[in-house]
A = this chain, B = another copy of it.
Amino acid sequence: MSTAYVAPLKDMQFVLNRLAGIDRIAQLPGCEEATSDVVDAILEEAGKFAGGVLAPLNQEGDKLGVKWHDKQVTMPPGFGEAYRQFVEAGWNGLSCDSEFGGQGLPKVVAAAVQEMWKASNIAFSLCPLLTLGAIEALALCGTAKQKETFLPNMVSGLWTGTMNLTEPQAGSDLAAVRSRAVPQGDGSYRIFGQKIFITYGEHDMAENIVHLVLARTPDAPEGVKGISLFVVPKFLVNDDGSLGQRNDAWCVSIEHKLGIHASPTCVMAYGDNGGAVGYLIGKENDGLKYMFVMMNAARFAVGLEGLAIGERAYQLALSYAKERTQGRAIEGSAGPVAIIHHPDVRRMLMLMKSQIEAMRALAYVVAAAHDVALQHPDEAERRRNQAFVDLMIPVVKGWSTETGNEIAYLGVQVHGGMGYIEETGAAQHLRDARITTIYEGTTGIQANDLIGRKLARDGGATLKAVIALIEQTATDLAGIGDSDADADFVAIATALRAGVAALSRAAAYIVTGYGSDIRGVSVGAVPFLKLLGIVAGGWQMARAALAARADIAAGNADPFLPAKIVTTRFYADHVLSAASGLCETVVSGGAGALALTEEQF
């Protein structure tokens, strides 16, 4: 029971309605079905599925893990059946195009639902996540024939998908990809090469697995400009759509990992027995471009993982802190009290809760902006929102996963010695979370993307627009603080102002120095990413506090609303307070980091 998961519907709905503007999204062309009622019903059903079907498999899946034998992967008990139900209920295609059988729901709704899959069973959730990425690439760049062949079964979830980028010598450096694709003269290619870290590269939950593979054609230029993308199904597909021959794509081993034990991480061998049949997606040498499309979606999704594992770790720690009695109250008590009464346990729980709510708010607001960027009739509005999404994706990815790790760490700490015992379940969240700052690009890679492509490239223009919005929120807060002498709002306003000032100063430093001192500035990339995350999260929490205040003023007596204000206050004092120190690190941290020779280490 203690390892149960209950979808945080109330906060999700508050964020969707009051911060992400689901009403506005429902007015976009193509999003008309996403009315508040429908969204509520979907979230409720998803919550039931996550809590009732996926969550109970999470700990057992971790304990038993996946098994590899003779190039086959066996999933832990219950996973196959859960996946069957998942597909049957239509969850897989929730946000996919209705042309191929999806439900076409907005990204912001999909984000909330995805959070539930990830929180209830992160290992399970990686299978549909990878499938979605492959669907996106095929839908965007595939031929009509490819779409017809693969998409309906992938959207339904009958077939799953993978992304094959990494090779042993290459890691995150795609320029070093060596896998070869040899044209056969009939439009098809033969693929040869080994790929590592392939999530769900092999498993027994679906009839077919559709691998998207990066490889080089014989005359391709060197580096990233010579990479092409191929679709390589595990089973070839006959013209009538039935499954044909087994392709020469095999899982030759799986990794023994710190966490996500129920998610197979495969070493895939292509072409060891004559060549794996593959079909070019889009144009030759354009593979990296297509991968970036998928990667943005995947990076956002991994950001949600940080949030989701954090939420799960929080629920576990909270339930323990309420049940476990130990020690007298520090101010004196007749007998032992529940540990939630102890100030430091409270502090830890509030650190978890407040950062989860900040991450959720920012992620959903970014998802909503993505919907606007895709669907809004006005081009300027689309462009403006896309720029915001592009700026924020590395933040949602990098900040939310680093913070998710911190939260999982605190979750263990709240449990004391019991947290170190695997049966408790808190340690699993710590282990599972640890991959999220690494895959789909490490935090360092996100931060370089942020300060380079997203900040320096446009001279800081997009961020300046965001900063203006944050400053407006700080002004709104200060008005309340001044007039009401409301201590919470005064504190929130002060912290947000200090935070946004720190952010402005750090951003100006980066924009100015990026051209002249790229190495020194890059030392501050991750501290800057965290700074932007903390301040942007504080901005959304401040908006939440203002909305809560308005609702209270309108007569709503839900205790959720004052709690939101208190939580924002806590965030201001315990999280936003780090902003000025991070700014110092950004503007002065280059020298000390780079002065040693390698031999001096």
Q: Does A589 contact B (CB under 8 A)?
A: yes
Q: Is the CB of B413 within 8 A of A525?
A: no
Q: Does A526 contact B (CB under 8 A)?
A: yes
* CB under 8 Å from chain B, chain A span 272-303: none
Q: Is the CB of B318 within 8 A of A601?
A: yes
Interface string of A137-175 (1 = CB under 8 A from B): 000000000000000000000000000001000111101
Q: Which residue of B lies closest to A351 (CB)?
A: B593
Q: Does A581 contact B (CB under 8 A)?
A: yes
Q: Is the CB of A577 within 8 A of B570?
A: no
Partner of A569, one of B258, B562, B563, B595: B595
Q: Is the interface of A mostly helix, strand, loop or mixed?
A: helix
Q: Is the CB of A330 within 8 A of B522?
A: yes
Stretch with Cβ within 8 A of B (4 or more), from A389-397, A422-430, A477-485: A422-430
Q: Is the CB of B589 within 8 A of A574?
A: yes
Q: Is the CB of A328 within 8 A of B175?
A: yes
- Residues in chain B near residue A519, CB distance under 8 A: 330-331, 343
Minimum C-beta distance from A413 to chain B (A): 6
Q: Which residue of B lies closest to A598 (CB)?
A: B340
Q: Is the CB of A434 within 8 A of B438?
A: no
Known: A570-B589, A593-B570. A526 touches B347 (CB 8 A): yes
Known: A421-B255, A581-B577. A416 touches B343 (CB 8 A): no
- Residues in chain B near residue A560, CB distance under 8 A: 600
Q: Does A573 contact B (CB under 8 A)?
A: yes
Q: Does A27 contact B (CB under 8 A)?
A: no
- Residues in chain B near residue A590, CB distance under 8 A: 343
Minimum C-beta distance from A587 to chain B (A): 9
Stretch with Cβ within 8 A of B (4 or more), from A28-36, A47-55, A83-91, A442-450: A442-450
Interface string of A400-425 (1 = CB under 8 A from B): 00000100010011001101111100
- Residues in chain B near residue A327, CB distance under 8 A: 171-173, 175
* CB under 8 Å from chain B, chain A span 505-532: 518-520, 522-523, 525-527
Q: How long is the Cα–Cα vector from A349 to B437 in the complex, in angstroms?
A: 17
* CB under 8 Å from chain B, chain A span 312-346: 318, 322, 324, 326-328, 330-331, 336, 338, 340-346
Q: How long is the Cα–Cα vector from A5 to B417 in the complex, in angstroms?
A: 28
Q: Does A118 contact B (CB under 8 A)?
A: no
Q: Is the CB of A421 within 8 A of B592?
A: no
Minimum C-beta distance from A519 to chain B (A): 5
Please name 16 pairs of A and B residues whose Cβ atoms are closer than 8 Å in the assembled complex, sorted by A: A256-B422, A256-B423, A258-B421, A343-B525, A350-B593, A409-B434, A413-B437, A417-B439, A488-B591, A488-B592, A491-B592, A560-B600, A573-B592, A574-B589, A577-B585, A580-B580
A343-B593, A413-B443, A573-B592 are known; give 11 further A-B pairs, CB within 8 A: A172-B326, A257-B421, A258-B421, A348-B444, A350-B596, A413-B438, A491-B591, A491-B592, A527-B574, A573-B584, A578-B578
